[in-house]
Structure 1
Amino acid sequence: MRIGELSRRTGVSQRSLRYYEEQGLLTPTRLPNGYRDYDERTVTTVRRIQILLSAGLGTSAVAEILPCAVDDTVVLSGKCPELIDGLAKERRRINAAIDDLIAARDILDSLIGRPLLAQAVPSL
């Protein structure tokens, strides 16, 4: 299939698909006229890429994870145990960032007159 059809089927822009190719995440074949040609499996690959990017991972991490994905939910296979530690570390980083943002929001709430959740009186 050509890039326009892949874009329609996945909801991903043609520009993003070209970027994925530049990053080594997709490897279409080239037709004699220079057009990209994607096989059916690419639809699943693009969906996996989207899931991984939405998790906050960069394209280099996505490139490492893609060969280890076993289904559309991107569950990692047992053949890539070294990725689990790195992903757990990334999860801890994200949790710390969330905690920092919640603390910043609580401070802003107190500055604008909203009570902190810990100080709120429960309603009866």
Structure 2
Amino acid sequence: MMRIGELARLVGTSTRSLRYYEAQGLLSARRAANGHREYDESDVRLVQEIRSLLAIGFALEETRPFVECLRAGHASGDACPASVEVYRRKLAELDAGITRLCEIRDRLAAQLDTASERTRPCSR
């Protein structure tokens, strides 16, 4: 068993983040007789999963199916259909964002071309 500070150091986050994950129901702390939170290796894996998903742009709530999958005993957080569905939804969001950014870029490039034509120096 480890205390919250040890877990935070081990996974590279703050104790505040761990308490927040707990408040959101993503992490469950056991309490020692003295009231201190205690965690084990399964909690390390849960927090690592949460942090890796956050690092690639997932919202905290989107990590829930992955956490639940790990809690159900699966070796990977994406071994469950609900997790795969989150991947699909996130990929669709990214594709839509990329399409939108490409449209904006094309419009901006066209505006630049038009502006450049208007500001060309006179030829003699």
TM-score (norm 1): 0.70
CA displacement, residues 14-51 of structure 1 (integer Å, 9 cap, x when unaligned) = 11100000011110101122210001221111100112
Deviates more, 1:82-91 or 1:14-23: 82-91
Structure ID, larger Rg: 2
TM-score (norm 2): 0.70
Change over 3 Å in CA distance of 1:104–1:44 after alignment to 2? same
Partner of 1:47: 48
Question: Which one has the bigger helix percentage?
Answer: 2
For 1:86 and 1:6, locate their aligned partners in 2 and report how far apart those are by CA, in whole Å.
27
How do 1:19-98 residues align onto structure 2 when only pairs under 5 Å count? Answer: 19-69=20-70, 70-71=74-75, 74=76, 76-77=78-79, 80-98=80-98
For 1:54 and 1:88, locate their aligned partners in 2 and report how far apart those are by CA, in whole Å.
17
Percent identity for Structure 1 against Structure 2: 39
| Count of aligned residue pairs for this structure pair | 109
Amino acid at match of 1:7: A
Amino acid at match of 2:60: T
Change over 3 Å in CA distance of 1:7–1:112 after alignment to 2? farther
Q: Which runs of 5+ in 2 are unaligned?
A: 114-124
